[in-house]
Amino acid sequence: MLVGLFLCVLAVEVGLGVCEDTGNMTALQNTSGPPLLLVSFDGFRADYLKKFNFPNLQKFFFSDGVVVEQLTNVFVTKTFPNHYSIVTGLYAESHGMLASTMYDPVTKKNFSIANDSDPFWWNEATPIWVSAQKQGYKTAAAMWPGTDVPIHNMTSTYYLRYDSKVTFQERVGNLTKRLTEDETVKFAVLYWEEPDHAGHLYGPDNTTEMGKVLKDVDNLIGFLVDKLNQSGLWGKMNVIITSDHGMTQCSKDRLIHLDKCIDSANYTSVYLTPVAAIIPLTNATQVYNALKDCHPNMKAYLQAEIPDRFHYRDNERIQPIILVADEGWTIVQEESHLRLGDHGYDNALPSMHPFLTAHGPAFKKGYRMSSLNIVDIYPLMCHLLHMEKMPNNGSFYNSHCLLVDERCTDLPEVIGIVIGVLMVLTTLTGLFVLMKNRTPSSSRPFARLELQDDDDDDPLLGDSSKILQWTSRWNQICITFLADETDRIALWGKNCCWLLGSYLFFAKETRSWIVLGAMKKNLTKSYLFFI
């Protein structure tokens, strides 16, 4: 129990937040909280932010909000899997939305973008709008994948059926109307097709054409902010802008012709490029052997051998053989259409990564984070809405530094403190045994540093005034010692001072407690622990 107490205090002091009681406030208990708007611009590659200018993003979000420079999305890096991961916090193998085209071997059903309204394909997970409505909120949606499908017998409260002809302005207008006219609408989602469409058409390396489209996207973001301002929502609601995937350049010089490796009569493909799902129609081993040696820029995996890091193996909708092309390569059959830009590749590739930015009362201003997982967005949104979250693959801790009310400590610092304290813990027992068993001597080299403490004092735990007084006094002794001595460890009486890297650890043994402290040498931070 004492060790658990020590770890709990350590976690709170360094900002891990694992010991706090959040109270699990439900939506019905917090209907007065700010609403949340989630916006996705399809195919917004993360490094577009470095290659092009976005004055509206810069002004309204980067300078006055937070930005995550890149998101690690889920495999395959396609639209439907990642949009469902954003709103469920699950990897594709867990939520079942594996690609934009699917085949279920049990029911013999087929899924496509044009045929996506069957709840069967969506019911393996519970998206956030369904959970929000079950917990007392209303929700609104404009074209976000799945919001018009009765998932677990429930669509979004207000939704627009998908129609690419509906303009961005109309979509925004519909949502702001719902948010202003019905104050119980606390969660809204908006989807826009660009810059994905242009990325496929021109390729991301065509900076002239992509520059035009991305300028239009930034103007749409400006329109969104203006509309929220006019509606009295800007600054009073939390807004997250993100994307599902990036884009990479393709060319006719990087084609993988399956027909040169195996007769098409021996297999059928559910989807083709850059990740192909293959169902053997003849001997499966022969089909696999022919495909695994087909091309040096393509890897073939049996379902059971798909790498763990893809989180793309344990679902019956994953076909017996998966082919994965290298970045920029396209898997084709005789009549395949070549795109100049494409996505769907390995999710470890930077070109496949999108970004995230956010603004609102919950978010810090001018804060930047280098990376985040796309599955971490879901627990973040649940936290913002004070919702009970469903089981998921994400972690709120990964994103908590984005928020105003969350203390944040850099991971290297946390690791350094934890390792240092654990090292002290493993050595203290032996050190104190040696000190207790040593022969008394009139000559004590560190006597000038000895505290005038009585070991019969009451334990310091729970008495903040004693803690502060004792810590201040002890800090000065450690500082004095380390400034005057060359040794890295000082022992005297039942006290210990230990210098480890840039951290100073100190300990005091009382009748029933060991009190540990840690601080940086520059005195910018200090921590106090009890065991």
> Could you give the angle at which helices 411-437 and 2-14 cross, rounded to 10 degrees?
140
Residue indicated by tokens 């910018």: 524
- Which ranges of 125-195 does DSSP label H, i.e. alpha helix? 128-134, 168-181
Report CA-CA distances (Å) from 53 to 168, 264, 377, 491: 21, 46, 25, 59
Q: Which residues are catalytic?
A: 79
In three-state secondary structure terms, 157 is coil
501: left (phi over 0), alpha (psi -120 to 50) or beta: left
The β-bridge relationship of strands 298-302 and 321-325 is antiparallel
Sheet holding 495-500, edge to edge: 489-492, 495-500, 503-509, 514-520, 526-530
- Rounded Cα distance, 195 and 517, in Å: 52
152, 123 Cβ separation under 8 angstroms: yes
Report CA-CA distances (Å) from 213 to 49, 143, 190, 200, 242: 13, 20, 19, 12, 17
The identity of residue 91, as a single letter, is: Y
Residue indicated by tokens 């998966």: 322
159, 189 Cβ separation under 8 angstroms: no
**DSSP letter (8 states) at residue 528:** E
Residue indicated by tokens 């400006």: 222
Task: Give φ, ψ of 385 to 5 degrees.
Answer: -95, 0
SS (H, E, C) 322-373: EEEECCCCEEECCCCCCCCEECCCCCCCHHHCCCEEEECCCECCCEEEEEEE
Task: Give φ, ψ of 321 to 5 degrees.
Answer: -130, 135
228, 220 Cβ separation under 8 angstroms: no
